[in-house]
């Protein structure tokens, strides 16, 4: 094999394993049915012992139930908070064990990242998580057989008001209200990923909930949004 082939071959394998898997990921859920004026707010990266309780209080005040995609090792350190979420009618989804970018994980590590979080969250909430969301939406070829075994679909989002770049809270709220369509899945963050994300979320959430309510939207957990898909 020429040196160039030696260099290209692993590169091609990796591209197929990581980037190529996104073609398969096209089967992921990105939105719910458009029939009713309903959407799902989803919160990634928690639970955060400081910010998540504040998010729960804001949701309670607005009478809204949502879906939290939890990181297993964080849930292991905040077990009571996870139980409280469920007791309040929120839904818990799997966001891997340690929030590694799955593009950097081999098949065995990928399987472990997903199933370890699945087990713990199942134990804490009394039911297996019904949905999985990969960190940053990045998947690889090992993700889908694992999810099939766990009978758990991969859920991405249709509205993400803040990506990797910080967005001011007012603008974050305005983006969600402006972009919202029936069946949308909104991606928010109640723990640190992007620096300061939870603090901005706490400021954005009240006007966001108010605006969505004024526009006639009911915010429901994912399982409800997708139940009549
Ligand atoms: Zn995340």
Residues 6+ apart with CB under 8 A from 104: none
- 189 labelled catalytic: yes
CA of 224 to the centre of ligand 1 (A): 22
- Predicted confidence at residue 26, as pLDDT, reads 63
CA of 109 to the centre of ligand 1 (A): 17
pLDDT above 90 for 76: yes
Cβ atoms of residues 44 and 95 within 8 Å? yes
Beta bridge partners of 96: none
Structural domains present in the chain: 29-227 (3.20.20.370)
* Dist. CA 155–CA 216, nearest whole Å: 24
Per-residue pLDDT tens digits for 78-128 = 999 999 999 999 999 999 999 999 999 999 999 999 999 999 999 999 999
Cβ atoms of residues 221 and 43 within 8 Å? no
Per-residue pLDDT tens digits for 19-59 = 766 666 667 999 999 999 999 999 999 999 999 999 999 99
CA of 135 to the centre of ligand 1 (A): 4
Active-site choice (45, 95, 189, 190):
189
Per-residue pLDDT tens digits for 137-160 = 999 999 999 999 999 999 999 999
- 95 labelled catalytic: no
CA of 132 to the centre of ligand 1 (A): 11
């Amino acid at each position: 094999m020429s040196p160039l082939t030696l260099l290209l071959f692993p590169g091609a394998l990796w591209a197929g394993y990581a980037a190529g898997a996104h073609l398969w990921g096209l089967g992921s859920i990105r939105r719910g049915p458009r029939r009713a004026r309903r959407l799902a707010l989803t919160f990634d990266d928690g639970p955060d012992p400081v910010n998540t309780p504040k998010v729960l209080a804001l949701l309670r005040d607005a009478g809204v139930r949502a879906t939290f995609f939890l990181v297993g090792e964080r849930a292991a350190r905040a077990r009571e908070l996870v139980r409280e979420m469920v007791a309040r009618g929120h839904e818990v989804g799997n966001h891997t064990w340690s929030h590694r970018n799955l593009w950097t994980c081999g098949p065995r590590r990928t399987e472990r990242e997903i199933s370890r979080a699945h087990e713990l969250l199942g134990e804490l909430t009394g039911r297996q998580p019904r949905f999985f969301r990969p960190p940053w939406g990045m998947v690889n070829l090992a993700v889908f057989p694992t999810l099939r075994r766990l009978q758990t679909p991969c859920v991405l989002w249709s509205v993400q008001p803040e990506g990797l770049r910080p967005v001011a809270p007012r603008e974050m709220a305005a983006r969600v209200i402006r972009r919202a369509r029936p069946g949308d899945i909104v991606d928010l963050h109640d723990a640190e990923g992007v620096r300061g994300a939870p603090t901005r979320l706490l400021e954005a959430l009240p006007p966001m909930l108010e605006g969505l309510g004024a526009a006639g939207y009911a915010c429901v957990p994912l399982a409800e949004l997708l139940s009549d898909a």
